[in-house]
A = this chain, B = another copy of it.
Amino acid sequence: MSTEVLSGKGLAALIQQRAQDEARLLEYEGQRPSLAVVVATDDESTHWYVRSIERAAERAGIGCRILDLGHDATEQVLASVLKDLSAEPTVNGIILQTPLPAGVRTDGLVGLIAPEKDIDGANPLSLGRLAVGQPAFAPATAQAVVELLEHFQVPLAGRNVAVVGRSAVVGKPLSLLLLEKDATVTICHSKSGALERYTRPADVVVVAAGRTGLLTGSHVSPASVVIDVGTNVLPDGSLVGDVDEASVTGVAAALTPVPGGVGSVTTALLLLHTAEAARAQARLLEKPALVSGTAG
């Protein structure tokens, strides 16, 4: 059988356009949505990725400041920059880009990102709010998976979805988003033993484990829709996912490519979140009465 390739590019363009439209609307009010990306690494692929966000932001009419603090930035410096950005009214969205310098504890730092500017859902409070159904930005990658599935009209309600990977940036928040869509969610990981026990009966299999070639044709069935969240850089510099594309193609019903699948949607979502954050923050400034209440 032929396996349908679920490219993310069409959806990414749609979301990018929506971010641009949002930005244009804000222009009427003299606002320009603005994103700040904090970087503290020499890693080339990270810098390449951050520049791709910058270019996409430019195209959408969204400001993007890259704060490169260098590979030897201390936790104190990072903390102080994140606090300043959280307090700075001209910044609407904040990304703390990993990897961080050795010894720096990411945990404490992400808690310093103001929740209303936490457009990549890195602050634990954002994750907790997602879990209880309160408004919050989901991590963009996790949301990209759900948006892709909905874009290709893959049913989720009542369906069996296996998520391979239990990270705080993808597996866990994605599971929350899928539950919100009424899917039955199984979270598998490195200690799950024979993965096919969970992935073969699943209608949708999402792989976000960061291991090249982890999911093969023997893990899936002809009905499986497979979403590959992996982004592994091979020694030759090329990018591959967690799915063994050659063996899954011809077995599964559908598969997202890497690159050109989830990743492209993720970047577009970061911009849309920034525009949405800017709009929400503009509203707060306008009508303070709307936000006073018991939570203050």
Q: Is the CB of A172 within 8 A of B131?
A: yes
CB contact between A125 and one of B125, B172, B173, B295 (< 8 Å): that residue? B125
A172 to chain B, nearest CB (A): 5
Q: Is the CB of B134 within 8 A of A128?
A: no
Q: Is the CB of A187 within 8 A of B188?
A: no
CB contact between A191 and one of B107, B126, B158, B186 (< 8 Å): that residue? B158
- How many chain copies? 2
CB contact between A184 and one of B111, B112, B187, B294 (< 8 Å): that residue? B187
Contacts of A189 in B (CB 8 A): 179, 182, 184
| A157-B134 Cα distance, complex, nearest whole Å | 32
Question: Is A124 located at the chain interface by the 8 A CB criterion?
Answer: yes
In A83-113, the 8 Å CB interface with B consists of 105, 107-109, 111-112
Q: Is the CB of B187 within 8 A of A185?
A: yes
Question: Is A55 located at the chain interface by the 8 A CB criterion?
Answer: no
Q: Beta-carbon contacts of A162-195 to B below 8 Å, as 1s and 0s?
A: 0000101000110110010010111111011100
Contacts of A173 in B (CB 8 A): 131
Q: Is the CB of B192 within 8 A of A108?
A: no
A96 to chain B, nearest CB (A): 12
Contacts of A70 in B (CB 8 A): none
Question: Is A76 located at the chain interface by the 8 A CB criterion?
Answer: yes
Contacts of A196 in B (CB 8 A): none
CB contact between A179 and one of B108, B109, B166 (< 8 Å): that residue? B166
A255 to chain B, nearest CB (A): 23
Question: Is A198 located at the chain interface by the 8 A CB criterion?
Answer: yes
Q: Is the CB of A175 within 8 A of B158?
A: no
| A133-B172 Cα distance, complex, nearest whole Å | 12
| A294-B81 Cα distance, complex, nearest whole Å | 11
Residue of A192, A193, A197 ringed by the most chain B CB atoms within 10 A? A192
In A33-81, the 8 Å CB interface with B consists of 75-76, 78-79
